Amino acid sequence: MTHKAPHRHADTGHGRNMEAHGSIRLADALNKKVLSDSGREIGKISDIRIDPDSLEVAGISVKRGILARDMFVARRYIQSLGDQGAILKITPVTQYKGMKVFDLHGKEVGSVKEVRAVGSTNNAVSLVVDRGITRKKLVIDKSDVMAIGESVLLNKGIESITD
């Protein structure tokens, strides 16, 4: 009959295991919420990627729902990661869709219908704005955007964009 030694946590050399140093179990973070820098829920953590050379977190995979494409968020865009989920340093451009767009004077222009980005990066180059069924869609260059938060604020009046 063979005896197996009881499982023990890895020792750091100081008589304490890694849990005492504030580390988390990756499995505890899976399926937890991912929030943007503004607190808006982006999706849930579906995977945590580890760099094989440094053994550090490379980033997280985010499941965004049945109809939305999953996305990868690199470590440099993650503010915090824990057993409660992740908070990002950014708002992914995919979250702009549906936001209301206002010009410099506070006049509502429409809502974001599409975000045109460089490949699959978070670098938006323009926004396609739906202005209603009676008006033509409007393409807004990123240089015409002053701020993005709960809505998109343009740095000029709508009349100077549509001319």
**62-82 tens-digit pLDDT:** 998 887 778 899 999 999 998
Residue where a domain terminates, one of 58, 88, 118: 88
Is 149 part of any domain? yes
Is 62 part of any domain? yes
Is pTM, for the whole model, over 0.85?
no
How many domains does one find in the chain?
A: 2
The CATH number of the domain holding residue 31 is 2.30.30.240
Q: What DSSP string runs through 48-88?
A: EEE-TTT-SEEEEEEE--SSSPPEEEEGGGEEEEETTEEEE
For strands 108-117 and 124-130, give the pairing.
antiparallel
User: Contact, 48 vs 58, CB < 8 A?
Assistant: no
Is 3 part of any domain? no
- In this structure, the answer to whether residues 26 and 62 fall within a common structural domain is yes
**77-111 tens-digit pLDDT:** 999 998 899 999 988 888 888 999 999 999 999 99
- Quick one: DSSP state of residue 31? T
Is 82 part of any domain? yes
Is 4 part of any domain? no
Segment 17-26 mean pLDDT: 66
**113-124 tens-digit pLDDT:** 999 988 877 888
Segment 21-41 mean pLDDT: 86
